[in-house]
C-alpha cells in the first residue's frame, strides 16, 4: 500500500499503483525466487514517476528453474474496476540472454489495429513492458534470460466492466500505466484544482496558455515545438470547463495541442472528452470525410475502426489527409463558440507516434506568436 496522499476538496485521498507496476513487481519477485529458491514477502521497484514502491508478494510458488507469485492491485482512493485483483507473473529462467513477455489467462488479446500493440499480441502496454524488462534485467545473472508470463485470474470477469471489448481487446484486462502510479480523482475536486492553476498563472502575469489533455500532448509541445513545461497546463477531459476558466480569468489566447482521439470530439461540439460521457469520434470523422467526397466504401471501412489510430490509417491510405485540417478548423470554431468568441483558440492534432496531423488556422498564427513571445 502506498502511504502517499493528495488533498482534493478538503479530502485526503491516497495514491495507488497501476496494473503495470503490479506486473513489474510480481515479475521481479518471481525472477528472484526462481534464482535464489527463497520466498520473498516484499519487493521494491522503481516507477516512471520516480517513486520507489515496496509491494507485498502473495501466492508464491518456487520450481526448479521457475517461480510465480502475485501482487494485489491497489487503486488507492480512486474508483477503479481493477482494485483488489491479483496480477500474477510466472518467470522461467533460460540460458539465453533475452527477456520475453507473454500474456496468460485473464490478460486480454488485441484483435484489431489502431492501438499501441499489434493485433494478436497480449494487451500489455509499452510502458509496463519496459518496466517489467527493467526490473527483471536488474536481477538476472549475466548470460541468463527469462520468459515471463503475466496473468490475471479474474481478468476476464473484470474486463466486462471496462471498454476493452469495444476496443477489440478480448479475453481479459489490459496491463496499463504510463507513470506506474494511480492518482486519486474526485471530478469536482480535480476541476477545482485545474481552475486554481489557471488563476495562479494569471496572477503570475501569464496572458497566453498552452493547454493539453495529458502527458502525450505536453511531451509533444516540449519536444516538437520547444515550449517550456512551466507554460503548459493540462485539461484532462474537462476541455470546455478549462476554456471557460480561461475566459473567467482574462486569458485571451489559448493554443491546444492534443491527440486526435480527444480533439476530434471538439470538432463535433463535445467538450467533456471522456468516452463515458460522449464519443462519436468515428462518426465525426466519417461525416467530414463524406463532405470531402469520400466514397461509401471508405466510409464503411472507417466504421469498422475501433480507434482513431486505425481511422488515421484508412484516411492516409486513401489520400484524404485534408480531413485533419478540416477537423482542426471546425474544432477551433466550436471552441470559440463555446466561450462566445471571447477567446482565441488554436488547435493542433497529432497521432500516437507524435506525428502532427493537422494545424488549424488560428493555431498557425498562435504558434508564431507563442514562439516569439
Q: How large a percentage of the chain has pLDDT more than 90?
A: 77
pLDDT in tens, 175-189: 998 899 988 865 776
Domain final residue, candidates 156, 182, 208: 182
Task: Give 130's Cβ-side CA count (13 Å radius).
Answer: 10
117 and 244 inside one domain: no
Q: How far is CA 109 from CA 20, 64, 92, 172, in A?
A: 16, 29, 22, 7
Domain final residue, candidates 182, 205, 220: 182
What pLDDT, on a 0 to 100 scale, did the predictor assign at position 201? 86
164 and 285 inside one domain: no
299 and 226 inside one domain: yes
pLDDT band per the 50, 70, 90 thresholds, residue 77: confident
Q: How large a percentage of the chain has pLDDT more than 70?
A: 98
DSSP letters along 263-327, please? Answer: HHHHTTT--B--TTT---HHHHHHHHHHHTT--HHHHHHHTT-SSHHHHHHHHHHTT-THHHHHH
231 and 88 inside one domain: no
- Check whether 373 has a pLDDT greater than 70: no
203 and 341 inside one domain: yes
210 and 170 inside one domain: no
Domain final residue, candidates 162, 182, 202: 182
203 and 278 inside one domain: yes
342 and 363 inside one domain: yes
360 and 213 inside one domain: yes
pTM metric for this prediction? 0.69
Q: How many domains does the chain have?
A: 2
What pLDDT, on a 0 to 100 scale, did the predictor assign at position 9? 60
User: What angle is formed at CA 124 by the lines to CA 154 and CA 256, rounded to 5 degrees?
Assistant: 115
172 and 118 inside one domain: yes
Range of the domain at 134: 5-182
Amino acid at each position: 500500500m502506498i502511504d502517499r496522499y493528495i488533498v482534493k476538496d478538503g479530502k485526503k485521498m491516497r495514491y495507488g499503483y497501476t496494473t503495470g507496476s503490479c506486473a513489474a513487481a510480481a515479475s521481479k519477485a518471481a525472477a528472484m525466487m526462481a534464482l535464489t529458491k527463497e520466498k520473498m514477502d516484499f519487493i521494491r521497484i522503481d516507477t516512471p514517476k520516480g517513486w520507489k514502491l515496496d509491494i507485498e508478494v502473495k501466492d508464491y510458488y518456487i520450481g526448479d528453474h521457475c517461480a510465480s507469485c502475485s501482487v494485489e492491485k491497489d487503486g488507492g482512493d480512486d474508483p477503479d474496476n481493477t482494485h483488489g485483483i491479483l496480477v500474477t507473473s510466472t518467470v522461467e529462467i533460460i540460458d539465453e540472454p533475452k527477456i520475453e513477455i507473454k500474456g496468460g489467462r485473464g490478460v486480454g488479446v488485441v484483435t484489431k489495429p489502431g492501438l499501441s500493440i499489434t493485433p494478436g499480441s497480449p494487451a500489455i502496454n509499452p510502458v509496463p513492458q519496459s518496466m517489467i524488462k527493467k526490473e527483471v534485467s536488474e536481477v538476472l545473472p549475466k548470460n541468463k534470460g527469462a520468459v515471463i508470463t503475466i496473468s490475471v485470474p479474474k481478468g476476464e470477469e473484470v474486463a466486462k466492466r471496462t471498454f476493452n471489448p469495444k476496443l477489440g481487446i478480448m479475453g481479459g484486462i489490459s496491463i496499463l500505466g504510463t507513470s506506474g502510479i494511480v492518482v486519486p480523482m474526485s471530478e469536482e475536486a480535480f476541476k477545482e484544482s485545474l481552475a486554481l492553476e489557471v488563476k495562479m498563472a494569471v496572477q503570475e502575469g501569464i496572458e497566453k496558455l498552452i493547454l493539453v489533455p495529458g502527458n502525450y500532448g505536453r511531451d509533444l509541445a516540449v519536444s516538437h515545438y520547444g515550449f517550456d513545461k512551466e507554460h503548459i497546463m493540462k485539461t484532462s477531459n474537462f476541455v470546455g470547463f478549462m476554456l471557460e476558466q480561461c475566459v473567467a480569468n482574462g486569458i485571451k489566447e489559448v493554443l491546444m495541442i492534443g491527440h486526435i482521439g480527444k480533439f476530434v470530439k471538439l470538432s463535433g461540439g463535445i467538450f467533456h472528452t471522456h468516452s463515458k460521457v460522449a464519443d462519436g469520434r468515428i462518426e465525426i470523422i466519417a461525416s467530414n470525410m463524406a463532405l470531402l467526397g469520400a466514397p461509401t466504401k471508405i466510409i464503411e471501412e472507417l466504421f469498422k475502426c475501433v480507434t482513431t489510430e486505425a481511422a488515421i490509417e484508412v484516411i492516409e491510405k486513401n489520400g484524404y489527409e485534408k480531413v485533419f485540417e478540416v477537423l482542426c478548423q471546425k474544432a477551433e470554431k466550436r471552441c470559440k463558440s463555446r466561450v462566445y468568441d471571447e477567446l482565441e483558440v488554436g488547435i493542433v492534432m497529432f497521432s500516437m507516434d507524435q506525428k502532427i496531423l493537422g494545424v488549424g488556422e488560428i493555431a498557425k498564427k498562435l504558434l508564431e506568436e507563442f514562439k516569439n513571445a
